[in-house]
Amino acid sequence: MEVGAIAAMRFVKDGIRAARLVMQHTEHTLFVGEKASAFAIAMGLPGPANLSSVESMDKWTKWRENGCQPNFWKNVVPVDGCGPYQPKCNMGPSEGECPASNLMGVTESGSSHVGLHSHDTISMAVIDKMGHVAVGTSTNGATFKIPGRVGDGPIAGSSAYADEEVGACGATGDGDIMMRFLPCYQTVESMRRGMEPELAAKDAISRIARKFPDFVGAVVAINKNGEHAGACHGWTFKYSVRSPEMEDVKVFTVLP
């Protein structure tokens, strides 16, 4: 139940280290934005620094030249440009409001923008020799996300959750959809009730897929005894495992 998280932090490379500093040196849980950067630098992390790379700048330039497509906007105009964007619907009685029917596409998701090359999430769960369980998730977020967006990475119970009485879970995929279901919290709680890791992971994924059949995502579950499994939807997913008695990492492939 010790948690630290960072979101929307710029100019500091080591987001996961900053999150740990929040956990170790404050009574808060989540820092965001400019003040998160200031906190991380004040606590000794390198910065401010330009985190853009030649590769990322080239990708961004080509995206701009393509009319900022694809992106995560919906129900706005222009539909094929770089903005500024405005609501597509006519203004209702209350200025700035759109009819609810235009906003309630509950079975649609942005997973068409999510794939192996559109995000860079790393989630890792560890059990030490004393039986303590920890999990961490770090991500740069969805490619071409709208500025200000926070995904599931820093949300406790969504991309990561651990309880050393039970085990741990890590998740990746369409974070905007997955965070609505807290799949890692669900997975750990299912294991607490006696489910094996494989069934717990599959149950968490199926809860999302029933509501959003086009979503892309995966979870990995491990119980306190070291038994592990993964479940996924919309892609073939791989995760790796290493234990003291193993000579090297072993990669496991999970089919949807």
Q: How far apart are CA 147 and CA 93, in angstroms?
A: 29
Q: Nearest to residue 138, comparing CAs of 112, 164, 175, 168? A: 175
Q: Using an 8 Å Cβ cutoff, are 130 and 118 in contact?
A: no
Measured distance CA(174)–CA(114) in Å, rounded: 6
How far is Cα 2 from Cα 24, in angstroms, rounded to an integer? Answer: 9
Q: Cα 196 to the chain's mean position, in Å?
A: 24
Query: Do 183 and 208 contact (CB within 8 A), yes or no?
Result: yes
Spot the catalytic one: 29, 121, 137, 236.
121
Location of structure tokens 């070291």: 226
Told to judge if 121 belongs to the known catalytic residues of this protein, a careful annotator would answer: yes
Helices (H), 4-111: 15-25, 33-42, 54-65
Write out the catalytic residue numbers: 121
